[in-house]
Each structure stands twice: as C-alpha cells, then as structure tokens.
C-alpha cells in the first residue's frame, strides 16, 4: 500500500514485519551457531543438513500438484511447524552438550520442517504487499531480526536454547494476526496458477521460455543468483569455522556481533531509501552487490593483515542487500507476471537458496585442500571472489531482473489511489467489479478498452501472449461479448446510460 505522496506505508504490514523478523532471527541463529559451543563443527553440520533437507522437501513439493502444495498454507499445519521450531532449538541445544546423534537428527528434521512452512507463509505475506512497500517491509523485518540476534548473542550460552525456543512460538502467534489466504483464495489473487502456466507454455520448445513464463525470471538470471548464493555459503563456512572469530580475540568482540551490526546497518539503509526514495531502490541493490564483491576480493589481503573480520562485515552487508533483492524479485514476479507465489517461493527461495548455501559450505570445506598448504594468500578466497564477481556482473547486467522493477512500477500506477483516477478509469473499475473480473483481468480489461493489441498488453505486463489471450477471452465471457469492438461498445453504452 502506498500513501498519497507515493511513499510506502508500513502501518498495515506491522504484523508481517514482526512475525517474519522473528523467523529470520531464528534462521540467523542457525547461521551464527548460537546453539553450539564456539567453534563447534556441529553448527556447520546442522546448517548444512537443515539447508539440504529443506531444499529437498521444497523440490518435492514444487514438483507435485497444487493439491498437495495447498497444505503449506494450512494454519493448523503452520501451528505444528511453530511447535517443531520450538522443539528443534531445545533438542539441538541438548544434543550439543550430550553428543546424542539421534537427538541431533531429530532437531535437524524439526528445524527443516519449521523452515519450509515459515518461508512459504511469510513469503506469501510479502507477495500480498504489492508495490514499493514490499521493499520496505522486507528490509524492516531484516532489521528487526538483527536486533533479536544481538539479544541472543548477549544471553548466556546455556539459556540461548530456551530463548530461541520461544522465538518460533512468538512468530506463530503473530502469524495469526496476519491474514494469509488459503490456496484457492491465492489463485484468485494471482490468477495464473502454475498448472495454467504449464498449459500456456505447452507449445513452447525452449525450456528457458517455460521457466521464464512460470517463474518470471530467466534461467541465466536464476543461475547468477544461485552462484552468488554459493559464494555466501562459502563465506558462511569461513565464519562458522572460527577463523574470523580468532582474529577478533584481541578486541574481545565476538565475530557474530560485527557481522550482525553490518547486516543491521545495511537493512536500515535499504529501509531508509525505500521509505524516502522508493524509485531508487534498484540502485541500492546494485551497490550492495558491489559491496559483497569487494568483501570477497579483499578477503585474501585482509586475512594476511589479520583484518578478515572487515571482509566478513562487507560480505554480510552485501548479503543483506542480495537476500532482500531475491525476495523483492519473488514478490514482483508474482505481482507483475501472475505466477503462482507458492511455486516461485519454493523454487527461488527454498530450493535455490538451500542448494546454494549447502554447495558453498561444501566448497569451503573442499577448496582449501586443493591447494598446497604453504600458500599464504588464501587461493580458495580468490576463487570465491572471482565467482562472486561473475555472479554480480550477471545480476547487474540482467535485463530480466531489473525489468521486474519497471513492470512493478507500472502496476503500482494502475493500482494507485482511486481519488487520483480519471472518470474513465473509475468507470472501468466499476464495470470490472460488476462483471466479477479478477485483479489481473481488471488490469487487462483497462488496456483492451483503450484499444491496445494483445501483443502490446503481453509486453507491457510482461506475460506470455497465450496468457494475455486467455485473460481477454475470460473478460469477453464475463462481459457477454465476443470481440474487442463489442467490449468497447459495451463500455460506452454503459457510460451513455449513466449520463442519461
């Protein structure tokens, strides 16, 4: 929702910010290894196992029919997921000190279950916040997560498990304040379900085109995002292994505090830009990617000068921008290209994110052993730096990625304050409600009534021509006409009747 001055209004999204912020704080606790003694390899194993298990579960649910995926939006199952998140913290906390493998496996399974349901539910909540407010909403949730993370670090290690066990329950309690529609209601909000998307692309030979029409992003862009996530997974292993933390010993400041402060500063900066200059957020995302690349490239030099923590802070700040960018792309792909939000979230956030993080951590374990030990310039970090540079260049140079921002701006204008609409637009909106048009059909109807061609509508809304044709056919059926001219005549006939 936008205010009259065009800036996002966060008031309607307060519960989403709080609930998802608590969830991201729980996720950060896994990355920080808060449940395990400092330097414990168990933290690396748990993060790797939860990421892989969550990605596998997301892949299975993405591949099956929507009848099965609808369970992800079930309030009852989400309540069970909240309990699972609570138990995972307690079980992992106990296994960290008792060394019980069975409890460790149970904690991983419970954590992956909670992760899967929370990512989908809060992702759908983000998708419902259309326009520029989604950027501010996501950035605000990340900023809140950092505050909770700093509180976790300040707590006695033994008490962290208990505190973290409360976080999923609190997030679930807030989830009840947020109206997240069920799968059927979601299909009405985003008319093109993924089953319809498969039908619309059944005549397309190119796999790339099918993926683009189903998820609103090209394989090249998706691959570049996956490569960047792999680099962040490598950085996560470096931080979890305790190498950076050891360099901060003289400062008596835990490495996680430095990283979280950098993340918090990045989130606040993005929130400020989204609130004050929402049309410039794409520039901030591009600059954030460059900051991440700079962190990777300077890591070998800073490591030799005992300043690896500085590179880590730069990478984590860049990761905040990058993580927000992925969520914004998910939101805008769903809003501008009518993709099924659950499918997009599973593919781009659950599967790609889990695989990227997991592979990055594995590379972090394997790469150092591929080089002679006498090398003192960290060749593995150089490899990660080159990979991050390539990924950033692909993302920044991807027309499809930044086209989503332009398409979202067009949609935001079409959904602006009714007081700013022309009389003709108000009449079209009234007719659309009278005929029972969906939000997407209402948008297409406005262009058809203005005499726009089907290819023009397809290009403007960034949807397939087959999809535009389907929407136009549905509009004709609901309006009781058989052609564009008959539809336009119907619009002017209603206008004349109103004037008479």
pLDDT tens for 226-278 read 888 888 888 777 766 655 555 444 444 566 677 788 888 999 999 888 888 87
Q: Which residues pair with 8 in a beta bridge?
A: 2
Query: Looking at per-residue confidence, does 135 or 144 come out higher?
Result: 144
3-state secondary structure of 2: strand
Q: Give the model confidence (pLDDT) of 374-383 as tens digits.
A: 655 567 777 8
Q: Which residues pair with 304 in a beta bridge?
A: none
Give per-residue pLDDT as tens, 9-25.
444 578 889 999 999 99
Tokens of 408: 């979202």
Distance CA 405, CA 462 (A): 11
Count of C-beta atoms within a 10 Å radius of residue 208: 13
| pLDDT tens figures, 160-177 | 888 888 999 999 888 888
**Confidence grade of residue 76 (pLDDT, cut at 50, 70, 90):** confident
* pLDDT of 290 strictly over 60: yes
The β-bridge partners of 2 are 8
Which pLDDT score is estimated for 83? 92
The size of the chain, in residues, is: 500
Q: What is the pTM of this model?
A: 0.74
The whole-number pLDDT of residue 374 equals 60
CA proximity to 190, closest of 402, 1, 343: 343
> At 46, is the pLDDT very low, low, confident or very high (cuts 50, 70, 90)?
confident
What pLDDT is stored for residue 376 in this prediction?
A: 56
Q: Could you give the CA distance from residue 238 to residue 251 in angstroms, rounded to a whole number?
A: 19
């Amino acid at each position: 929702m936008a205010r009259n001055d065009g800036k996002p209004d966060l008031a309607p999204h307060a519960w989403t910010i709080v609930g998802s912020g608590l969830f991201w704080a729980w996720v950060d606790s896994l990355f920080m290894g808060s449940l395990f003694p400092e330097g414990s390899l168990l933290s690396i194993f748990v993060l790797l196992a939860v990421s892989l298990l969550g990605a596998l579960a997301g892949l299975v649910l993405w591949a099956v029919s929507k009848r099965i995926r609808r369970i992800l939006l079930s309030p009852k199952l989400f309540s069970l997921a909240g309990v699972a998140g609570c138990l995972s913290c307690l079980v992992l906390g106990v296994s960290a000190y008792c060394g019980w493998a069975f409890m460790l496996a149970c904690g991983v399974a419970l954590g992956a279950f909670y992760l899967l349901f929370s990512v989908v539910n809060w992702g759908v909540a983000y998708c419902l916040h259309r326009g520029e407010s989604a950027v501010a909403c996501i950035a605000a949730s990340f900023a809140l997560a950092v505050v909770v993370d700093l509180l976790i670090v300040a707590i006695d290690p033994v008490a962290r498990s208990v505190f973290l066990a409360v976080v999923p329950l609190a997030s679930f309690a807030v989830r009840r304040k947020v109206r997240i529609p069920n799968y059927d209601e979601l299909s009405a909000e985003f008319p093109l379900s993924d089953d319809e998307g498969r039908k619309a692309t059944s005549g397309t030979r190119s796999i790339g085109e099918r993926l683009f029409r189903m998820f609103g992003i090209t394989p090249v862009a998706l691959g570049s995002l996956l490569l960047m996530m792999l680099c962040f997974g490598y950085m996560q292993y470096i931080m979890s292994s305790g190498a950076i933390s050891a360099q901060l010993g003289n400062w008596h400041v835990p490495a996680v505090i430095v990283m979280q402060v950098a993340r918090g500063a990045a989130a606040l900066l993005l929130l400020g830009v989204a609130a004050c200059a929402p049309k410039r957020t794409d520039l901030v995302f591009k600059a954030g990617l460059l900051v991440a690349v700079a962190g990777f490239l300077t890591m070998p030099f800073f490591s030799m000068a005992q300043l690896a923590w500085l590179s880590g802070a730069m990478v984590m700040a860049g990761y905040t921008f990058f993580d927000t960018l992925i969520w914004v792309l998910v939101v805008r792909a769903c809003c501008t290209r009518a993709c099924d939000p659950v499918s997009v979230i599973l593919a781009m956030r659950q599967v790609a994110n889990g695989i990227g993080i997991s592979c990055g951590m594995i590379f972090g374990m394997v790469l150092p052993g591929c080089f002679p030990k006498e090398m003192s310039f960290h060749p593995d970090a150089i490899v990660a730096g080159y990979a991050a540079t390539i990924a950033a260049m692909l993302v920044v140079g991807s027309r499809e990625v930044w086209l989503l921002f332009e398409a979202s701006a067009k949609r935001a204008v079409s959904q602006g304050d009714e007081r700013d609409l022309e009389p003709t637009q108000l009449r079209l909106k009234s007719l659309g409600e009278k005929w029972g048009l969906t939000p997407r059909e209402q948008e297409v109807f406005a262009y058809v009534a203005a005499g726009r061609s089907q290819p023009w509508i397809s290009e403007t809304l960034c949807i397939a021509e087959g999809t535009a044709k389907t929407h136009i056919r549905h509009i004709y059926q609901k309006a009781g006409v058989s052609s564009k001219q008959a539809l336009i005549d119907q619009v002017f006939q209603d206008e004349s009747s109103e004037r008479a």
